[in-house]
Amino acid sequence: MRIAVGMSGGVDSSVCCLLMKETGHEVIGITLRFHQDACETDGLRVCCSPQDVRDAVSVSERLGIPHLTLSWEQIFEERVVQYFIVESLKGRTPNPCAVCNREVKTGFLAEYLRKVANIDALATGHYAKFVKYKGSRLIARARDRKRDQSYFLSLVKREHLDMLLFPLGDLTKEEVRRMAQERGLMVWDKRDSQDVCFLMGKEPGEFIQERVGSTEGYFYFEGKQVGKHKGFFHYTIGQRKGLGVSLGFPVYVCGVNHERNEVYLCREEELYKNWLLIENLNTHLDLDLWGHPKAQVRYSSQEVEVSHIEKKENGYLVTFRQPVRGITPGQVCAFYEGDVLLGGGVIVE
């Protein structure tokens, strides 16, 4: 098979490339350049940099495979960065990594390379795997649960699934690093990138403020002004720290009004809801084949049992068997049966 491997210059994608080569496939390394500048901040590597491109080229040379770098700065800006800005200015907390997997570096890239490079599949270093479930080839959680990235793949279009391979799904991070060291890949001990890449170490609100300017407004608690804030886009549902409001008891962000630049505060118990609305539900498996799904409303949250999913005029209403803390518009709600990913969508309410 003719396999393209998405190479970020890190150890995961490098071992992914190694595995594809050792399996006997014809392999091409592909690196997407989203930024022109190096992004080292206080010793923390936070995004794709020129050094990452050089590392991907060096690994490709070591493995004896051809390598291409695609300058997709404009595509990334239009499809991911602008999405992040627009959603943030609606008062939501977007998940740009999940959108990027659909619109740029995973699903869309596989479709693009199939057309222009005649590849059979795109392999990536995601910690996830494919399984056969109810007659379909579906994404499932990785063996390394601490690294599992299936949640971020829930928006990938169903038609792109058959173009994708995830060779690291049954490996732990420690096994990946050891394999890279044993095979002489110089990136074996390279630090993992962290945070949203284009933020370059900034807080999300700080990044938005640089684009749109300062927009101070007021906090409200039970209908009364209780303090000033630095702009609604600096805050997310469930936030407690950094509010600068003292009422004698803990308060949390429970909502924003982007049109009036107001941020609403509440007691913790008011953060719990038993429903959410998804505008567009992306299904990897037909909805009528779902049995007893569970939902994950944030990457770091625990799964909760779904009691009902109902199609409405404005989207899909999802209700839960128990209240869920901090459901946040803009975040992704991913659905699972066991370890199998059924699909997902962006929370709008």
- Domain containing 324 — which CATH number? 2.40.30.10
Active site residues: 100, 197
Is 225 a member of any domain? yes
Q: Of 207, 233, 266, which residue constitutes the final position of a domain? A: 266
Domain of residue 84, CATH code:
3.40.50.620
pLDDT of residue 42: 52
pLDDT of residue 189: 85
Residues 220, 342 within the same domain: no
pLDDT of residue 197: 83
Residue range 302-328: average pLDDT?
94
Q: Of 231, 250, 266, which residue constitutes the final position of a domain? A: 266
Residues 24, 106 within the same domain: yes
Residues 248, 155 within the same domain: no
Is 205 a member of any domain? no
Task: Please check whether residue 277 is in contact with residue 330, taking contact to mean a CB–CB distance below 8 angstroms.
Answer: no
pLDDT at residue 110 is higher than 80 = yes
Q: What is the per-residue pLDDT across 183-224, written as a single tens digit (0 to 9) for each?
A: 998 988 888 876 778 887 788 889 899 988 888 999 999 999
> What confidence category does residue 290 fall into, taking pLDDT thresholds of 50, 70 and 90?
very high
Residues spanned by the domain of 337 = 272-346
Residues 251, 278 within the same domain: no
Residues 317, 173 within the same domain: no
Residue range 238-252: average pLDDT?
92
Is 204 a member of any domain? no
> What confidence category does residue 300 fall into, taking pLDDT thresholds of 50, 70 and 90?
confident
Residues 310, 194 within the same domain: no
Residues 256, 143 within the same domain: no
Q: Of 199, 231, 258, which residue constitutes the final position of a domain? A: 199
Percent of the chain with pLDDT over 90: 78
Domain of residue 224, CATH code:
2.30.30.280
> What domain count does the chain have?
3
Is 209 a member of any domain? no
More confident residue, 83 or 197: 83
Task: Please check whether residue 29 is in contact with residue 68, taking contact to mean a CB–CB distance below 8 angstroms.
Answer: yes
Is 210 a member of any domain? no
Is 239 a member of any domain? yes
